[in-house]
């Protein structure tokens, strides 16, 4: 073995990561709270990077504030920068809430954000801060990028908001739905489903309007939309919580917090993608609301089954590479498995000791062993994919490199999608979202077959 080959075989660094940074997820979640501005305690580069990623996916302006660390701040601490940032945001935006997320730099030098927030609020109450008379709620999510992924940051921010705002009270029949990192269209569809069951609810976070709203005549510093703070306060008195996805942060995720603080039962459900996962979601809503699923959704389920039958000849036995967030990959794998597609490789960039177990539980029909990879990067996925002989790739835009190297079509879904319009409007969830994904898979495979044919044809 040559020296170059030996280095290549024994690399330990991440190359072309299959994940994003923790503060990014926190900022997206914070934009799903009405009147909330994210503030990164770190350098301007962090907020610029996250704005760039968010804007290119959602195609909306996204303001993310920064405490603007410099070399001096990194040595002597950033408390004064943070206090100045809080004052400036309060005067300029008049927000209802400011969500602070830490960064690698502030965490590395040991900034005590909870203490800083208490000191700031004490000075604000004493009239020592020039905040323009605006006194927003301030909460903090620890999100160093060197620990976890954007999914950890997303759930840290949701838990921080619930911890700061939820109050004990009694709300007859109310339910909490803690969402996942899904599209704006998914959140609109979730609201549609929840409204159909008639029970009062809180959906958190909800950036369906704040990150995918209508065109403005004049610039809005704080776009309309987001989960109302009053509704987050009511989460402490709900009868039950549904969390879409697996427990992310142990005893620190929002569902666990509500259970431990207020005694609210929490049920974790896989993302409702695919017939089986959708059935579980609707059954949970049946039980909590005391109402049957309406005829509209029964018909959507029937159309989905019919589509599976119609498209089976195009997808049956095909082999897929899927990647992305753990919850997303598990749900997509379950969906593909029930359509006859073989998930040959399933990869996530997060380190997870439960990913393999969850994947095996999701795959009930596959005729061969799936290559399951956690803590993955795209170089590793590519090396394994070259040995598996696959037909298509399914995931976000960062996998275009993988698809091009393998000469395979890419079905774009999830986050981020930078190279197509309408990423924020891709519907993944529910029977209707599953049908949309099934059509995407079928049509992508049909298009690839046409493109590869020596003689073009229009009937497949």
Domains and CATH numbers, the chain: 22-213+221-269 (3.40.50.1980), 311-452 (3.40.50.1980)
Residue 248 confidence class, pLDDT cut points 50, 70, 90? low
Q: In this model, does residue 7 exceed pLDDT 60?
A: no
Please compute the mean of the pLDDT values over residues 282-287 and round it to a whole number: 96
Count CB-CB contacts under 10 A for residue 36.
Answer: 27
pLDDT of res. 194? 97
Angle between the N-to-C axes of helices 184-197 and 430-452, in degrees from 0 to 180, rounded to the nearest 10:
140
Contacts of 446 (CB under 8 A, 6+ apart): 314, 460
Q: Please state which of the ranges 2-6, 165-169, 391-395 shows the lowest mean pLDDT.
A: 2-6
C-alpha–C-alpha distance, residues 208 and 197, integer Å: 20
Q: In this model, does residue 6 exceed pLDDT 70?
A: no
| Tens-place pLDDT, residues 184-212 | 999 999 999 999 999 999 999 999 999 99
Please compute the mean of the pLDDT values over residues 300-322 and round it to a whole number: 97
pLDDT of res. 177? 98
Residue 2 confidence class, pLDDT cut points 50, 70, 90? very low
Q: Please state which of the ranges 58-67, 249-258, 408-417 shows the lowest mean pLDDT.
A: 249-258
**Please, are residues 182 and 429 in contact by the beta-carbon 8 Å criterion?**
yes
pLDDT of res. 301? 98
Nearest to 43 by CA among 115, 120, 114, 103: 103
| Tens-place pLDDT, residues 79-131 | 999 999 999 999 999 999 999 999 999 999 999 999 999 999 999 999 888 88
Q: In this model, does residue 265 exceed pLDDT 90?
A: yes
Q: In this model, does residue 3 exceed pLDDT 60?
A: no
Q: In this model, does residue 147 exceed pLDDT 90?
A: no
pLDDT of res. 12? 63
Average predicted confidence (pLDDT) for the chain = 93
C-alpha–C-alpha distance, residues 173 and 161, integer Å: 22
| Tens-place pLDDT, residues 10-43 | 556 778 888 999 999 999 999 999 999 999 999 9
């Amino acid at each position: 073995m040559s020296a170059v080959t030996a280095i290549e075989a024994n690399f330990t660094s991440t190359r072309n990561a299959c994940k994003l940074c923790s503060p990014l997820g926190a900022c997206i979640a914070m934009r799903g709270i009405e009147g909330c501005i994210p503030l990164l305690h770190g350098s301007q580069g962090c907020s610029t990077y996250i704005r760039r990623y968010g804007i290119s996916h959602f195609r909306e302006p996204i303001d993310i504030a920064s405490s603007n660390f410099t070399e001096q701040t990194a040595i002597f601490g950033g408390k004064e920068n943070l206090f100045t940032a809080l004052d400036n945001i309060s005067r300029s935006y008049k927000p209802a809430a400011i969500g602070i997320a830490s960064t690698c730099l502030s965490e590395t030098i040991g900034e005590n954000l909870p203490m800083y927030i208490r000191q700031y609020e004490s000075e604000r109450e004493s009239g020592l801060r020039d905040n323009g008379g605006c006194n927003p709620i301030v909460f903090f999510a620890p999100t160093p990028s060197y620990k976890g992924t954007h999914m950890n940051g997303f759930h840290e921010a949701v838990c921080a908001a619930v911890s700061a705002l939820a109050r004990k009270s009694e709300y007859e029949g109310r339910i909490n739905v803690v969402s996942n990192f899904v599209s704006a269209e998914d959140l609109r569809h979730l609201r549609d489903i929840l409204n159909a069951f008639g029970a009062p609810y809180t959906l958190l976070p909800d950036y369906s309007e704040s990150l995918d709203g209508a065109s403005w005549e004049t610039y809005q510093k704080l776009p309309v939309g987001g989960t109302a703070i009053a509704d987050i306060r009511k989460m402490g008195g709900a009868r039950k919580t549904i969390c879409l996805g697996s427990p992310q942060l142990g005893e620190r995720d929002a569902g666990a917090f509500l259970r431990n603080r207020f005694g609210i039962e929490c049920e974790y459900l896989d993302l409702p993608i695919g017939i089986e996962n959708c059935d579980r979601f609707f059954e949970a809503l049946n039980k909590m609301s005391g109402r049957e699923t309406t005829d509209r959704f029964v018909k959507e389920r029937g159309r989905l089954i019919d589509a599976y039958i119609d498209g089976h000849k195009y997808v049956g036995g095909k082999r897929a590479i899927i990647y992305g967030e753990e919850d997303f990959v598990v749900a997509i794998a379950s969906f593909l498995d029930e359509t006859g597609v073989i998930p040959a490789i399933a990869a996530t960039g997060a380190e997870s000791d439960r990913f393999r177990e969850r994947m095996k539980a999701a795959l009930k029909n596959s005729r061969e062993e799936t290559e399951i990879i956690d803590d993955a990067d795209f170089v590793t996925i590519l090396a394994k994919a070259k040995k598996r002989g696959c037909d298509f790739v399914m995931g976000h835009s960062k996998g275009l490199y993988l698809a091009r190297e393998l000469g395979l079509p890419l079905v774009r879904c999830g986050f981020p999608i930078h190279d197509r319009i309408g990423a924020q409007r891709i519907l993944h969830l529910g029977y209707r979202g599953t049908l949309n994904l099934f059509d995407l898979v079928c049509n992508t495979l049909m298009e690839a077959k046409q493109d590869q044919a020596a003689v073009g044809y229009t009937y497949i």
